[in-house]
């Protein structure tokens, strides 16, 4: 009742304000103290975790290296795993390189051998465009000796595989351009990635074993296409539509020379694997370009 008197109200307000201020000061001091203690502790904790893991990892690496060195000195080194990859396309080159690099990183002795008839890697999705535009030929052919296979430790052999004997685990192959007896490549693991030939024999000339021979074959196909008066493309899928468009727009025409490009398909519409809107657009575009 005394503090409710008019003369005591300012005093009560002052006491309340001072109490609240002291309370907030205590809260701030407590939070700062907690923060100052938490930051050094966090730095110490995470530093301890980092250095402990680093030390353990280094220790295990040294122990593993000494163990392999001891086996090598004592003559207990196991023979390398013989891996033979037949075919130098996408699957063969990627598989051979991945196996060689993985074995090297894990300390597994391995000998990876890739056998292919040709001496180059060909980017097959762009073959049709290279037939239409000769300037693209150099960008789709890459000698296997210039790839990362040799840097990865892969042995590249040019030859034609004659037979595979699963019982003795050996591949017989004959060097291209040589009439000597077949050579033998033993294996522990065999990967057959030779692929399949094209349905049209002209697209892939299997007699082209070197880059220069393949360039000559594509140049000959380009010359035939350029002199043709009517070119029929059989198939209205993505490949056929792309080839027809390149023939109509990219293939150069000699002065005074006319050329017809006909696209034949058994499907009710072009690009049957795509929505109808894409088929309609492709058909209108092709008709607009002749």
pLDDT tens digits for range 223-235: 888 888 899 999 9
What DSSP state is assigned to residue 270?
Answer: S
Output the pLDDT for position 2.
46
Mean pLDDT (whole number) for 236-245: 92
Q: Is the dihedral of CA 234, 236, 263, 198 positive or negative?
A: negative
Residue 164, classed as helix, strand or coil, is strand
Mean pLDDT (whole number) for 21-42: 68
* Residue 113: strand pairing partners: 84, 155
* Residue 141: strand pairing partners: 122
Looking at per-residue confidence, does 261 or 206 come out higher?
A: 261
* Residue 264: strand pairing partners: 234
- Rounded to 5 degrees, φ, ψ at 159 are -175, 165
Closest CA to 120 of 140, 137, 144: 144
Looking at per-residue confidence, does 210 or 3 come out higher?
A: 210
Contact predicate 166/110, CB 8 Å: no
Using CA atoms, how far apart are residues 153 and 99, in angstroms rounded to an integer?
10
Cα 265 to chain centroid, rounded: 33
Q: Give the contacts of 232 (CB within 8 A, at least 6 positions apart).
A: 262, 264
Using CA atoms, how far apart are residues 142 and 211, in angstroms rounded to an integer?
8
Both tokens of 79, joined, read 């023979």
When the pLDDT of each residue in the chain is averaged and rounded to a whole number, the result is 82
Which residue spans within 119-169 are E strands per DSSP? Answer: 120-122, 141-143, 155-165
Residue linked to tokens 């000796």 = 145
Using CA atoms, how far apart are residues 174 and 160, in angstroms rounded to an integer?
5
Using CA atoms, how far apart are residues 83 and 105, in angstroms rounded to an integer?
16
pLDDT tens digits for range 1-30: 444 445 455 555 565 666 676 667 766 766
Q: At residue 154, does pLDDT exceed 70?
A: yes
Using CA atoms, how far apart are residues 271 and 263, in angstroms rounded to an integer?
12
Using CA atoms, how far apart are residues 261 and 248, in angstroms rounded to an integer?
7
Least confident range of 24-33, 164-173, 239-248, 268-277: 24-33
pLDDT tens digits for range 130-151: 989 988 998 999 998 888 888 8
Work out the burial of residue 211: count CB atoms within 10 Å of its CB; fewer than 13 is exposed, 13-18 middle, 19 or more buried.
Answer: buried
Mean pLDDT (whole number) for 60-65: 73
- Give residue 288's pLDDT band: very low, low, confident or very high (50, 70, 90): very high
Output the pLDDT for position 13.
59
Q: Quick one: what percent of the chain has pLDDT higher than 70?
A: 75
Mean pLDDT (whole number) for 148-170: 91
Using CA atoms, how far apart are residues 245 and 283, in angstroms rounded to an integer?
10
Say what the pTM is.
Answer: 0.65
């Amino acid at each position: 009742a005394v503090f409710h008197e008019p003369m005591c109200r300012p005093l009560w307000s002052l006491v309340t304000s001072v109490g609240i201020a002291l309370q907030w000061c205590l809260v701030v001091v407590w939070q700062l103290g907690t923060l100052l203690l938490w930051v050094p502790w966090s730095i110490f904790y995470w530093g301890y975790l980092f250095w402990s893991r680093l030390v353990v990892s280094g220790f295990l690496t040294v122990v593993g290296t000494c163990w392999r060195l001891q086996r090598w000195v004592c003559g207990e080194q196991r023979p390398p795993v013989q891996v033979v990859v037949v075919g130098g396309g996408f699957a063969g080159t990627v598989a051979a390189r991945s196996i060689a690099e993985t074995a090297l990183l894990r300390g597994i002795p391995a000998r990876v051998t890739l056998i292919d008839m040709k001496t180059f890697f060909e980017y097959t999705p762009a073959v049709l465009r290279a037939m239409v535009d000769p300037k693209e030929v150099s960008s789709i052919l890459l000698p296997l000796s210039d790839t990362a296979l040799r840097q990865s430790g892969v042995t590249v052999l040019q030859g034609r595989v004659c037979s595979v004997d699963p019982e003795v685990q050996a591949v017989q192959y004959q060097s291209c351009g040589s009439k000597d007896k077949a050579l033998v490549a033993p294996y522990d693991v065999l990967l057959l990635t030779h692929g399949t030939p094209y349905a049209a024999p002209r697209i892939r000339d299997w007699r082209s074993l070197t880059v220069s021979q393949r360039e000559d074959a594509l140049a000959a196909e380009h010359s035939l296409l350029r002199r043709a008066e009517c070119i029929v493309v059989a198939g209205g899928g993505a490949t056929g539509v792309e080839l027809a468009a390149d023939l109509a727009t990219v293939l150069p025409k000699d002065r005074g020379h006319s050329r017809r490009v006909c696209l034949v398909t058994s499907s009710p519409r072009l690009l049957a694997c795509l929505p109808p809107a894409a088929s309609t657009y492709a058909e209108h575009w092709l008709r607009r370009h002749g």
